[in-house]
Amino acid sequence: MRTANEIIYQAIISEKGTILRDNENRYVFKVHPQANKIEIKKAIETAFSVKVLDVKTINVKGKAKRLGRYEGRRSNWKKAIIRLNEGDSIDIFESV
């Protein structure tokens, strides 16, 4: 069993994420690739003391990148979109 710090990598702050936060009380996080929805929900609830209603996950494919004649690929990663109970919020998003 992973801890909350091992599951939640970072908060993703983007234009789309800001619109989701303002309109639908949803927050976006980069999470551990093998974490399931139940683990993500428990990690968010313990780390931020909020009530999570819904978790949606997306596996994001890494982009192919070039540097001159060398080709490489960025890592694949997992994104989680969290919907919180009405009235709950996460402070790290509000201070940005």
At 43, which CATH number?
Answer: 3.30.70.330
Indicate whether 93 belongs to any domain.
no
Report the pLDDT value the prediction gives residue 91, as an integer from 0 to 100: 81
Domain count, the chain: 1
Amino acid at 76: N
pLDDT 10s digits, 47-91: 999 999 999 999 999 999 999 999 999 999 999 999 999 989 988
> Can you give the residue range of the structural domain that contains 69?
4-87
For 46, the enclosing helix (H) or strand (E) is helix 37-48
pLDDT computed for residue 30 by the predictor: 97
Question: What's the order of all strands across the beta sheet hosting 26-31?
Answer: 8-11, 26-31, 77-84, 52-60
Question: What token pair was written down for 32?
Answer: 């551990």
Provide the mean pLDDT of the chain: 93
Read off the DSSP letter of residue 2: -
Bridge partner residues of 59 (DSSP): 78
